[in-house]
């Protein structure tokens, strides 16, 4: 007899078994992802499409897809996809327990890269073990005949994306990683850039809506709009290089062979190609914040603080300064972040904390401006 355990999460109640995989540490991921999906569902239904078609790849027990569906009152159809044949009765039972009608869902037992749905999908979720890279091409195949679609990616291979496994990043993402204070943001930019270059081959342009880093993973949700012009703009944005100058701890973006690239410091470390555009849509994040206050998940305060931080940093330039690295680099005593940010504001600069690390400041100020703000904080 297969042993099972009941799990309560968000608005759903499911069972997990020895055949399924359930990671309680990923509940926060599923919490904020359901908020993001809710904002997307509102956008889709606001365009009078009405029904939505969802593919929950690597679904295991189905908890993520079930949460998307139930917590956002979806109308349409969701396909739960997994390669493990032992999971089919469990997924079906979990869906029915949470009020998803038989006509609204399908359980497909198949390898992700073999799966094909002739009607396509509006939204595809990819949350595998490790890298999502090998599955992105077939995910894009699910969007044929769509003018607009949405792709959600989770990558747990942060050792690869953040530069600890340098060669694996080149192999998996065709990108040179960056192992510095900004490595987690750069990891997201590598992931989005890789997905965007594949999307361009399918004539889709990419707009990142929401991205974040936490624990051992990074996640992004992007909107795809069909058209050659959209694809070309994304191809340009996905071809940028990240340039890190160790002496000033500055990380910036430049196009290959541009003036900024040619004039880089001789000691600069180059990463890329990476996504050079924004990794958040500020108005989209505001929509998530509104949904979070309405739903009040267990732990919604944590999600609210997290989203508020992202909302503030969303409109600021790429990358940030870790103040602890500055103190170490300059061999100076530490000062409070609040005082630094206040002095940056007095000097006319924009500044905010970043969700990537609690000791960093995202700002449009330079390294020398940061030093001046630190000195005035003493």
- Quickly list DSSP for 54-87: EEEET-TT-HHHHHHHHHTT--EEEEEEES-GGG
pLDDT at 47: 59
Burial class of residue 12, CB neighbours in 10 A (0-12, 13-18, 19+): buried
Residue 229: Cβ within 10 Å count: 10
Report the chain (378 residues): mean pLDDT per 10 consecutive residues: 81 89 90 95 67 94 96 92 96 97 96 94 95 98 94 98 97 97 98 98 98 96 98 97 94 90 89 98 96 87 96 98 97 96 98 98 98 95
CATH number of 321-378: 3.30.56.70
Does 273 sit behind a cis peptide bond, omega within 30 degrees of 0 on the bond before it? yes
Euclidean distance between CA atoms 294 and 312, whole angstroms: 21
DSSP state at residue 134: G
pLDDT at 302: 93
DSSP states of 295-360: H--TTHHHHHHHHHHHHHHTTSPS--EEHHHHHHHHT-----HHHHHHHHHHTT--EEEETTEEEE
Task: Name the 3-class secondary structure at 247.
Answer: coil
Task: Name the 3-class secondary structure at 120.
Answer: coil
H/E segment holding residue 16: strand 12-17
pLDDT at 257: 79
Structure-token match 């012009």, residue found: 229
Residue 373: Cβ within 10 Å count: 24
pLDDT at 309: 98
C-alpha closest to that of 183 among 202, 205, 160, 155: 160
Euclidean distance between CA atoms 115 and 302, whole angstroms: 37
Euclidean distance between CA atoms 112 and 261, whole angstroms: 39
CATH superfamily of 4-284: Vaccinia Virus protein VP39 (3.40.50.150)
pTM exceeding 0.85 = yes
Query: Alpha helix (H) ranges present in 99-207?
Result: 136-141, 158-161, 166-173, 183-201
CB 217 within 8 A of CB 288: no
Domain boundaries along the sequence of the chain: 4-284, 321-378
pLDDT at 201: 96
């Amino acid at each position: 007899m297969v042993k099972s355990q009941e799990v309560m999460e968000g608005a759903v109640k499911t069972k997990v078994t020895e055949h399924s995989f359930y990671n309680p540490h990923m509940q926060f991921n599923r919490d904020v992802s359901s908020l993001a999906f809710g904002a997307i569902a509102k956008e889709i239904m606001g365009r009078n499409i009405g029904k939505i078609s969802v593919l929950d790849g690597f679904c295991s027990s189905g908890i993520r897809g079930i949460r998307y569906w139930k917590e956002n009152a979806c109308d349409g159809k969701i396909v739960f996809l997994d390669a493990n044949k032992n999971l089919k009765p469990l997924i079906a039972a979990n869906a029915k327990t949470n009020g998803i009608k038989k006509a609204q869902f399908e359980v497909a037992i198949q390898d992700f890269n073999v799966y094909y749905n002739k009607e396509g999908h509006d939204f595809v979720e990819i949350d595998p073990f490790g890298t999502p890279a090998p599955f992105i091409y077939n995910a894009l195949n699910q969007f044929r005949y769509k003018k607009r679609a949405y792709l959600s990616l989770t990558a747990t291979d942060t050792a690869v994306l953040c530069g600890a496994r340098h060669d694996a990043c080149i192999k998996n993402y065709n990108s040179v990683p960056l192992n510095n204070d900004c490595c987690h943001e750069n990891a997201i930019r590598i992931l989005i850039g890789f997905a965007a270059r594949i999307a361009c081959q399918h004539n889709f342009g990419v707009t990142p809506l929401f991205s974040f880093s936490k624990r051992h993973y990074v996640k992004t949700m992007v909107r795809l709009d069909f058209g050659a012009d959209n694809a070309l703009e994304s191809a340009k944005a996905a071809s940028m290089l990240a340039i890190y100058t160790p002496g000033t701890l500055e990380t910036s973006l430049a196009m290959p062979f541009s003036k900024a690239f040619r004039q880089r410091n001789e000691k600069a470390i180059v990463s890329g190609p990476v996504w050079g555009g924004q990794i958040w849509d500020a108005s989209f994040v505001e929509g998530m914040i509104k949904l979070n206050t309405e739903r009040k998940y267990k732990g919604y305060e944590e999600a609210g603080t997290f989203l508020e931080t992202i909302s503030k940093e969303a409109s600021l330039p790429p990358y940030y300064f870790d103040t602890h690295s500055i103190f170490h680099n300059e061999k100076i005593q530490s000062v409070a972040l609040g005082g630094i940010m206040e002095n940056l504001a007095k000097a006319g600069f924009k500044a905010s904390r970043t969700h990537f690390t609690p000791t960093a400041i995202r700002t449009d100020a330079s390294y020398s401006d940061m030093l001046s703000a630190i000195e005035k904080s003493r």
